[in-house]
Structure 1
Amino acid sequence: MTHYQWRAMKADDLSHVMEIAALVHADYYEALEVFAERLALFPQGCRIAAHMTPAGTEEVIGYAFMHPTRHGQPPALNRLLLELEEQADCLHLHDVALLPQARGSGLGRALVAEICQLGRAAGLQRATLVAVHDSGDYWRNAGFESDDRAHLQGADAISSYGVGARYMSRTLR
């Protein structure tokens, strides 16, 4: 069996991010500039999922982008942040994508643990995300709950993710 893990993202990884995004999130396009900005603004929240092949080479099989923001105010899809929110009170999982071969690898559970660790280290009380692709049940099992706060404060941002998008949050313990 190969070893799966999350590691810090580097600028050189953005080409992998774009390739994976085109496969996994074809209906949720984001420009390279959006991903590059997230990496520049909050590099500690940008992760690459990889595994080592039997030949000892690394194969990139996913990515994740997280950044601090305000609870109930998720960023719209494919929009630059320009700067991090000074009054941030939560860590937002902006995007995560894993190729099908990553299923069952434990990378999802490991990412949730990283979200909690990173959020707590930044002194934040909550983690948030916008669930797409009917992934609400997955995130509910990971401790997130539907959160109507963004549907009141950030409805335009939520609508940019399409029909069925759901804002969710969890307390960081």
Structure 2
Amino acid sequence: MPWRPMTAQDLAQAQILADTIHVDHPEEAEVFAERLRLYPQGCLALEGDGRLIGYALTHPWHFGKPPALNSLLGEIPHDATTYYVHDVALLPEARGRGYAAQIAEKLACHAKATGFGNLSLVAVNNSQGYWERLGFHTRSVPGLEEKLLSYGPDAVLMVRELAQALS
């Protein structure tokens, strides 16, 4: 699998990818650096032709309480209840080649091995259907509506139960 652990040397390229891919969801370099420092095993890079063509930032968190965009976590909670997928980003040239499905399975295996019963994420940019094909489904959490709007008008909280097989 071409996904590998992210290193500090990847941060500048990951930031460029984020700024290119997530124009409507900008995040500062400190967000990337902190995720890597706090939970390096959840930060992965996808390399192609000697450069970054994708990345994933993930970490344990509290279910139904996604971190605000462009915010620092401070620490990984000891009482985390979900394995949170903060961001999976692929350049157009990397899409349609199975890399997102690969990383979803890699993250599911890691989450399960570390004791989590689910993965969760906030789907943005009309990506809900894509995540559904990877075994995620929407979940309504009372009181979360306003926070989800900060991610964009189409943002939805999604969860994948790890006992559930992909269809």
Q: What is the TM-score normalised by the length of structure 1? A: 0.90
Unaligned runs of 5+ in 1: none
- 2:18 maps to 1:36: no
**CA–CA separation in structure 2 for the residues paired with 1:64 and 1:114:** 11
- Which sections of structure 2, spanning at least 5 residues, go unmatched? none
Identity percentage over the alignment? 41
Q: Find the aligned partners of 1:157 and 1:61 in 2 and give their Cα distance.
A: 30
Aligned residues: 163
Match of 2:126 in 1: 134
The 5 Å alignment of 1:8-157 reads 8-51=5-48, 53=49, 58-149=50-141, 152-157=142-147
Report the RMSD for the aligned CA atoms in angstroms.
1.2
Q: Following the alignment from structure 2 to structure 1, what is the Cα–Cα distance between the partners of residues 44 and 143?
A: 28
Q: Displacement, 1:156?
A: 4.2
Cα drift, residue 157 of structure 1: 3.3
Q: Distance in 2 between matches of 1:141 and 1:123?
A: 24
Relative contact order higher in (CA < 8 Å, ≥ 6 apart) = 1
CA distance in 1, matches of 2:86, 2:34: 12
2:88 and 2:100 in contact (8 A); partners too: no
Distance 1:40 1:155 in 2: 30
Runs of 4+ in 1 over 3 A off after TM superposition: 153-157
Opposite residue 136 of structure 2, the aligned amino acid is F
Structure 2 distance, partners of 1:17, 1:155, is 29
